Amino acid sequence: MPYANIEQQRTYQRDWMRRRRSQWLSANGPCVDCGGWQDLEIDHVDRLTKIHHAVWSWSPERRLIELAKCAPRCHGCHKKKTILELYGPARHGTARMYDRRGCRCDVCRKSNTVRCRISRESRALRSA
């Protein structure tokens, strides 16, 4: 029988799923990379096997099958792993390494100098 008050029902469901999530994280230990317990998240070890991320409302059998493909990771380690999977390792001499990673080694600085020179020259040609 549904709740008369929809907000009360939503609160109950959020708390219910939060308990399931925290129980699984407590039982499966700290971050597999750094060993930390802060800001733990569920990470699919192989992103191609992921069915869905919202597993907490699923039946116990279905949920356990999906969670068997997962590992607990703190937010920082999860973010690092995801970036590495999506973009691969950063290479020196690329714009991403200079701009986003803040590398100022000789290779990255030379590459950025050339990139800026080419950009200025192409802007000058367009405006002429």
Residue 38 tokens, joined:
């802060």
pTM of the model: 0.67
Asked whether the beta carbons of 30 and 72 are under 8 A apart, the reply is yes
Q: What is the pLDDT of residue 86?
A: 86
Q: What is the pLDDT of residue 25?
A: 93
Rounded to an integer, what distance in angstroms lies between the CA atom of residue 43 and that of residue 122? 44
Maximum Cα–Cα distance for the chain, whole Å? Answer: 74
Asked whether the beta carbons of 43 and 78 are under 8 A apart, the reply is yes
All residue ranges of the chain with pLDDT < 70 are: 1
Asked whether the beta carbons of 114 and 101 are under 8 A apart, the reply is no
